[in-house]
Amino acid sequence: MKTSYENRNEKTKYKKSLSARTTGKVKRALDGLKIQKKLHTKKFIKKLHLAFGTYLNKKAHLLPDQERKCAKSYGKVGLFVIPYFTISKSAVQPNKRTKGKIKMAKREIDKRIKSYLTKKNETKYMFYIYAGVDPMTGKKRKVKKMGFKTALEADRALRRIEIQVKNEGADSVKVKQSKKFLEIYNLWFENYKKTVKESTWASTEEIFRLHILPVFGENFINKIDVFFCQKAVNEWSEQYPKTFKKYKNYTSNVFDYAVSIQETESNPMKIITIPKGEILSIEKKDIEFYTKNELLEFLNTAKQEKDTIYIFFYLLAYTGLRKGEAFALTWSDINFNTNKLTVNKTITRGKNGRLIVNEPKTKNGVRTIYLDHELSNALKKYKKSSNKLTHIFDRANLVFSNNGELYNPTITRFWLKQIYKKNENLKRISAHGFRHTHASLLFESGASLKDAQAILGHADIQTTANIYTHVTENKNKATISNFSNYMKG
């Protein structure tokens, strides 16, 4: 049955204008597409005609700005019906051939629109479009747009850009160019430098320069996949089994930053498998340290050297200081009235290896150590003799001063060589070995793990236990032996 609107339109079809007849044809087009009946109202048809009547009489599709108006006003109808069908002028003029039926032509999708599959196996649509010449390089610019759910959606976006280029010029279209890993790293590193100490970012920069950038630097970051990352980490694990996880984590940080600035969709480093195998099961090296008698023999030999060398190793062996902490000590850190030594700084390396005095890495690194009377007296004597020579130059009031400047911590290797030449029977250990010597002698004298942790400045007692497993094993054996003797007795 015909609607009252159609009857009225038929009675006055010769008096009505072309645009009015067009309105009727639009309604029948909607009927043919089985759009919801609630939209088939006179008011709706009238609004639709007023907004788009002038375009429906042309054998062409709506312009993008008109599509947006339609989409905003009529939702589904605007997004699907109007863009997808076009009504020709001949269709809205009843004649013997058409008999008043609406003539619609299905819209063709631009050939530049291509489909592709995402990682989630979803079909999406994309396109490339020419966007003029880059004034910086003189090369042609292409705009790549992807991620459209339907071909129609991609088609509308394509035509909008074409109109934008035509009206506003190619410069109005932003062309997103892929960046290489090196470019993203430089951006990330500038931010990273502001969050850590110079010694930390300097060592991080060295890791990237030597290990990460040679592998990833020249690759476009959005093209690097899981397979590439897995191969890199596997090779690192073979060459650097102790530190490869650090390289992997630093690389992952750069990918995370790239995701945050929308230069890539995901971080492939988070999906790889961490290598595990025989190559990583490296036996821990035996900790080098002196026994009580070996230490006393070493110090007797060291007395033949300069006072600075003797006092330095004497201090390490009796306090457990790290050599960086010892070289950063000032006389104001030592209270001779209470025989207390305060550790609150250490020497680290900054950019290009320059020496920097920094706070310890952890809160536990700041600590107070009690000095025995013999060591305290030796330091007093050393202070008097050193002040005669260095007080003019030593502005920092350093305990161990190299003409008023900081000693390079590597100097200890030269000092040890001098001592070993004088006594070839001495066991060779590094400067850090004196810290292990102090800890081992602490345990032998009856100190607990907790006591050793406080003196050594370890952040976690597990660190102390892991390093000195040989001591804890001996203690466990002694404990079991004592228990057994107790039960027998």
Amino acid 136: pLDDT: 59
Dig out the tokens for 44 from the structure.
């709706």
Its CATH class, for the domain covering 181-280, is mainly alpha
Structure confidence at residue 91 (pLDDT)? 40
Query: Would strands 114-117 and 123-133 be described as parallel, antiparallel, or unpaired?
Result: antiparallel
The domains of the chain are located at: 4-106, 114-172, 181-280, 292-472
**What is the DSSP-derived secondary structure letter of residue 211?**
I
What pLDDT, on the 0 to 100 scale, is given for residue 275? 87
Mean pLDDT by runs of 10 across the 489 residues of the chain is 54 43 52 44 50 41 49 40 40 47 58 86 86 67 82 87 76 69 94 89 93 94 92 93 92 94 90 72 62 92 92 92 91 92 89 83 85 92 74 65 87 94 91 88 79 75 63 57 57
Residue found under tokens 């290990």: 211
CATH topology match: 181-280 vs 292-472: no
Strand order in the sheet with 123-133: 114-117, 123-133, 140-148
Q: What is the pTM of this model?
A: 0.55
Taking the C-alpha atoms of residue 448 and residue 463, their distance in angstroms, rounded to an integer, is 14
DSSP lists the bridge partners of residue 133 as 140
Integer angstrom CA distances of residue 329 from 319, 361, 459? 13, 16, 21
Cα separation of 202 and 76, whole Å? 58
Q: Burial code of 67-98, b = ≥16 C-beta within 10 A, e = fewer?
A: bebbbeebeebbbbbbbebbbbeebbeeeeee
Q: For domain 292-472, give its CATH number from 1.10.3720.10, 1.10.443.10, 1.10.357.10, 1.25.40.80.
A: 1.10.443.10
pLDDT in the model for residue 7: 52
Q: What is residue 331's predicted lDDT score, i.e. its pLDDT?
A: 92
| Residue 380, H or E segment | helix 373-390
427 φψ region: left (φ > 0), alpha (ψ -120 to 50), beta (else): beta
